[in-house]
């Protein structure tokens, strides 16, 4: 892994579910973007996720708070 790739893939995201059934979907890198992993959270549950060489994006479905190094974002409001 090259140094600049390590910076991109090192970011973390914290997702806190504000309702039952919040879905986190990991999307792949590469020529074709595909779903590669999903998780369901119930109200109050927290998940720490990381971007990797395989994960380029994440889709959040449901009401949740996302904490990033860039600040806080609310999903599903």
Predicted pLDDT at 9: 58
What digits encode the pLDDT tens for the residues 55-77? 788 899 999 999 999 999 999 97
Q: Which residue range forms the structural domain that includes residue 9?
A: 3-75
- Per the structure, the count of domains in the chain is 1
Q: Quick one: which of 44, 45, 41, 46 has its CA closest to 22? A: 41
What DSSP assignment string belongs to 17-40?
ESSTTEEEEEEE-SSS--EEEEEE
CATH number at residue 70: 2.60.40.50
Q: Are 26 and 38 in contact (CB under 8 A)?
A: yes
- Tell me the C-alpha distance between 77 and 31, whole Å: 32
Q: Mean pLDDT, to the nearest integer, of 18-46?
A: 89
């Amino acid at each position: 892994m090259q140094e600049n790739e390590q910076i991109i893939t090192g970011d973390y995201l914290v997702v806190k579910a504000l309702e039952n059934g919040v879905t986190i979907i990991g999307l792949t890198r590469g020529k074709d973007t595909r779903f590669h992993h999903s998780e369901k959270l119930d109200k109050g549950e927290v998940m720490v996720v990381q971007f990797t060489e395989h994960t380029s994006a994440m889709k959040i479905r449901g009401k949740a708070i996302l904490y990033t190094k860039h600040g806080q974002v609310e999903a599903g409001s």
